[in-house]
Amino acid sequence: MNTPDLFAEPPSLPRSPDLERMAQLRQTLHEHGHRYYVLDEPNIPDAEYDRLFQELQALEALHPEMVTADSPTQRVGGRLLAEFASVRHAVPMLSIRTETDTEDTGAQAFDVRIRKELSLGETDPPVAYVAELKFDGLAMSLRYEHGVLVQAATRGDGETGEDVTQNIRTIGQIPLTLLRSANAQVDADAAPSGAAAAVTVGFDVPAVLEVRGEVYMARADFEALNERQRVRIAQGVKGAKTFVNPRNAAAGAVRQLDPAIAAERPLSFFAYGLGEVTLQAQGGPAFATHYELLMALKHWGFPVAAQTAVVQGATGLVDFHQRMGQARDALPYDIDGVVYKVNRLDWQRQLGFVSREPRWAVAHKYPAQEQLTTVLAIDVQVGRTGKLTPVAKLAPVFVGGVTVTNATLHNEDEARRKDVRVGDTVIVRRAGDVIPEIVAVVLPAPPPPVRPEVSKDRPELSKDPRAPVFTMPRTCPVCGSAAVREEGEADYRCTGGLFCSAQRKQAILHFAQRRAVEVEGLGEKLVDQLVDANVIRTLPDLYRLGLGALASLARMADKSAQNIVEALEKSKHTTLARFLFGLGIRHVGEATAKELARHFGQLDNIMDASEEQLLQVNDVGPTVAQSIRTFFDQAHNREVVEQLRACGVTWPEGPPAPVTTQPLSGKTFVITGTLPTLSRDQAKDLIEAAGGKVAGSVSKKTSFVVAGAEAGSKLDKAQELGVPVLDEAALQEMLHDGT
């Protein structure tokens, strides 16, 4: 944080540097403490807070006489909100050892440690573990006496937490009274790999039962809450604000002093363990394993995550970690890792604890999906259709498993809504394969009120220290042509067309891509070089490239030049659909290009078709028809087509397709998982050749889902919506007879 300067004492008071620094640190820590504990809106990482705290402690040790009563180091219990009563946990709420490796050595090392501690030899069977999700919310202890919820407490410092019973009672998923289900059957399905088949557990509700688990906010609830908050902000409701992530929103709701407001912030709960429980000798339950205990919790009415599994040995742990890593983004809530626990409770007791952590459990984290970084610049990129996209250039940061240096800001409105400015500290998020985005700007803590006489002397204190608000340039940053935003559109577009080298580069890359005419090896770097050196101005120039011109480019080996020449030669034999798609006509994607090719059979028929004739084609509406017409009405576009043909680009032409119904016409397919023999592209081509369509996501309109090995959320969605699921064999059959 670069804020301390804002908190410096007026320079007129002479003080030693240490004492000034102590005052600064106290002030800064107070600000951040308030943001963290009261507002639930931290804006520095915990590690940074700890660093400042330790710096203050060290200085106070040097100058004990200068320790003030209000120093954050003197606060008893440190971290409690004054308004909630404190609760001493009968059994402390511990934390667990965390591994963050990506190579699974942590899981293996854990298994080795456990086997050693239990004196298991090589011939002993693998240890059974319960593998759970590590939910990203806040830990909660729920106390039931004679089956009735009497108290809910946060973790606090592990020994003492806060009494948040009123707010927790608003969570529908938390039973207010335990369900009584003696002799419940633990179904074998719930215990996939290796748990004893059907276990019969019989337990009455114990006199005292503390359930430990995680309170969290589901992603959809978080989005909806933020949407409502945005409306409130727009309406000018005092104190309304949005939340940075589900975890912060959940923490805010739990510690909200007004239970009515807490109730408007939908929370959920997963149970994962126990605190104090009536002793067995006094009629408490007798569980042999952790899994049995979880099943008992389920039968008493608590949500237990369906992914929870009993797995065998290190390989079981590694496999679980990998599977959940893949499933992570499709889960309806955030997880930050998985947790492994030794299943046998007698072994857990034998293993015991090291300092404040159980030896029998370990958390295996995934790479964090959110990190702090700094905005170095906001660039504007020009796309193939001239669309201008603001892109934040970031100080490199490792997030979601990769180093991120760019985050899209989508368009001007979005950049302004987030109010991202150069020099800002921002939270960047990268989840799965999604393009990294900026979640929020983290503002420096506001300066303290400035006394008038001080602000006269120090005018910089009253100025906004941030860079100016982002505005979209009114001219294209690449070619200088006018950039315009049309009525009702979110985007600005460069009007330079193929005069603009950025658009030219994108047009060439689009034409050369795999699903268009495919020029293997013609990538972004090479196209940049060719366009920048003015070797290529139009698409046909590609086919006029000689070996000499290519080989003379910097960093181009003769062999690579030869390969490109061969790839260009090969690309000349294409199909009408690929060629049409490759031209990059606005609104003509791959599917539309295929429909057009099928309908008209020949390129000349398409170039000369009227809008009415174009409207006859499947899926072509007025916008698309007009766009095609406009494209071919421009002489320079026709010229490009003629020259490409003259260079030898050819495709088989046929008569217009007779209007027959093909076996799969009118049917939409979604492909998921790995099919035994066909690649996804092959399956797609076969389905389309038979008149069917292939879509990317499952909806009520999907006719069939074709699922292979390791099918994920799309298969779940199909089952949820009742969409029929086919395997490859069933698809092949359908391709042949259409039933």
Annotated catalytic residues are 134
β 668-672/693-695 pair status: parallel
Q: Kindly tell me which of 32 and 89 has the beta carbon lying closer to ligand IVH.
A: 89
Taking the C-alpha atoms of residue 320 and residue 132, their distance in angstroms, rounded to an integer, is: 9
User: What dihedral angle (degrees, nearest 10) is formed by the CA atoms of 605, 606, 610, 615?
Assistant: 120
Both tokens of 320, joined, read 């679980």
Q: Which of 272, 291, 300, 511 contacts ligand IVH by CB under 6 A?
A: 272
- Say which residue the tokens 């302004």 belong to: 416
Nearest alpha carbon to residue 216 among 87, 332, 69, 44: 332
Q: Kindly tell me which of 251 and 339 has the beta carbon lying closer to ligand IVH.
A: 339
Beta-strand runs (E) in 443-561: 483-485, 492-494
Q: Kindly tell me which of 175 and 273 has the beta carbon lying closer to ligand IVH.
A: 273
Near ligand IVH in 362-381, by CB under 6 A: 363
Cβ of residue 109: shortest distance to ligand IVH, in angstroms?
Answer: 18
Nearest alpha carbon to residue 348 among 137, 89, 94, 161: 94
Nearest alpha carbon to residue 39 among 337, 241, 281: 241
Q: Kindly tell me which of 365 and 510 has the beta carbon lying closer to ligand IVH.
A: 365
Q: Determine if 277 is a binding residue for ligand IVH (CB under 6 A).
A: no
Q: Determine if 273 is a binding residue for ligand IVH (CB under 6 A).
A: yes
Q: Determine if 36 is a binding residue for ligand IVH (CB under 6 A).
A: no
Q: Kindly tell me which of 310 and 644 has the beta carbon lying closer to ligand IVH.
A: 310
* Residues whose CB is less than 8 angstroms from the CB of residue 537 and which lie 6 or more positions away in sequence, other chains included: 504, 531
Stretch that binds ligand IVH, among 91-99, 167-175, 178-186, 231-239 (CB under 6 A): 91-99
Q: Which of 96, 118, 331, 615 contacts ligand IVH by CB under 6 A?
A: 96
Q: Kindly tell me which of 110 and 579 has the beta carbon lying closer to ligand IVH.
A: 110
CA 578 to chain centre: 33
Q: Determine if 339 is a binding residue for ligand IVH (CB under 6 A).
A: yes
Taking the C-alpha atoms of residue 708 and residue 671, their distance in angstroms, rounded to an integer, is: 8
Q: How many other CB atoms are there within 10 angstroms of residue 454's CB atom?
A: 14
Using CB under 6 A, count the residues that bind ligand IVH: 14
Both tokens of 418, joined, read 């987030």
Near ligand IVH in 37-76, by CB under 6 A: none
Burial class (CB in 10 A: 0-12, 13-18, 19+), 66: middle
Cα–Cα distances in angstroms (integers) from residue 44 to residues 82, 264, 429, 441, 472, in the given order: 23, 28, 16, 11, 30
Both tokens of 182, joined, read 């003696």
Q: Determine if 99 is a binding residue for ligand IVH (CB under 6 A).
A: no
Cβ of residue 363: shortest distance to ligand IVH, in angstroms?
Answer: 6
Q: Determine if 358 is a binding residue for ligand IVH (CB under 6 A).
A: yes
β 128-135/309-312 pair status: antiparallel
Q: Kindly tell me which of 7 and 366 has the beta carbon lying closer to ligand IVH.
A: 366
Q: Which of 25, 201, 262, 361 contacts ligand IVH by CB under 6 A?
A: 361
Q: Kindly tell me which of 361 and 609 has the beta carbon lying closer to ligand IVH.
A: 361
Q: How many other CB atoms are there within 10 angstroms of residue 276's CB atom?
A: 15
Nearest alpha carbon to residue 424 among 391, 382, 466: 466
Cβ of residue 134: shortest distance to ligand IVH, in angstroms?
Answer: 4
Q: Kindly tell me which of 363 and 440 has the beta carbon lying closer to ligand IVH.
A: 363
Q: Kindly tell me which of 145 and 357 has the beta carbon lying closer to ligand IVH.
A: 357
Taking the C-alpha atoms of residue 302 and residue 296, their distance in angstroms, rounded to an integer, is: 9
Q: Are 449 and 461 in contact (CB under 8 A)?
A: no
Nearest alpha carbon to residue 428 among 391, 462, 471, 386: 391
Cβ of residue 277: shortest distance to ligand IVH, in angstroms?
Answer: 14
Q: Kindly tell me which of 79 and 458 has the beta carbon lying closer to ligand IVH.
A: 79
Cβ of residue 272: shortest distance to ligand IVH, in angstroms?
Answer: 4
In degrees, to the nearest 5, what angle opens at C-alpha 108 toward C-alphas 104 and 110?
A: 115
Cβ of residue 323: shortest distance to ligand IVH, in angstroms?
Answer: 16
Cβ of residue 275: shortest distance to ligand IVH, in angstroms?
Answer: 10
Stretch that binds ligand IVH, among 51-59, 94-102, 115-123, 709-717 (CB under 6 A): 94-102
Cβ of residue 348: shortest distance to ligand IVH, in angstroms?
Answer: 9
Cβ of residue 291: shortest distance to ligand IVH, in angstroms?
Answer: 13
Q: Kindly tell me which of 95 and 108 has the beta carbon lying closer to ligand IVH.
A: 95
Residue nearest to ligand IVH (CB): 139
End-to-end CA distance of the chain: 65
Taking the C-alpha atoms of residue 19 and residue 23, their distance in angstroms, rounded to an integer, is: 6
Both tokens of 161, joined, read 């937490």
Cβ of residue 184: shortest distance to ligand IVH, in angstroms?
Answer: 22
Q: How many other CB atoms are there within 10 angstroms of residue 224's CB atom?
A: 12
Stretch that binds ligand IVH, among 93-101, 103-111, 277-285, 389-397 (CB under 6 A): 93-101
Taking the C-alpha atoms of residue 617 and residue 598, their distance in angstroms, rounded to an integer, is: 9
Binding characters for ligand IVH, 109-148, by CB under 6 A (x = yes): -----------------------x-xx---x---------
Near ligand IVH in 212-231, by CB under 6 A: 214
Cβ of residue 141: shortest distance to ligand IVH, in angstroms?
Answer: 10
Q: Determine if 94 is a binding residue for ligand IVH (CB under 6 A).
A: yes
Q: Are 332 and 359 in contact (CB under 8 A)?
A: no
Q: Are 529 and 504 in contact (CB under 8 A)?
A: no
Taking the C-alpha atoms of residue 574 and residue 88, their distance in angstroms, rounded to an integer, is: 75
The phi, psi pair for 381, rounded to 5°, reads -100, 150
Can you name the residues that pair with 358 across neighbouring β-strands?
A: 353
Binding characters for ligand IVH, 150-189, by CB under 6 A (x = yes): ----------------------------------------
Q: Determine if 527 is a binding residue for ligand IVH (CB under 6 A).
A: no
Reported as type and span, the H/E element at residue 193 is: none
Q: Determine if 620 is a binding residue for ligand IVH (CB under 6 A).
A: no
Phi/psi-derived region of residue 718, left when phi > 0, alpha when psi is between -120 and 50, beta in every other case: alpha
Cβ of residue 152: shortest distance to ligand IVH, in angstroms?
Answer: 14
Q: Which residues bind ligand IVH (CB under 6 A)?
A: 94-96, 132, 134-135, 139, 214, 272-273, 339, 358, 361, 363
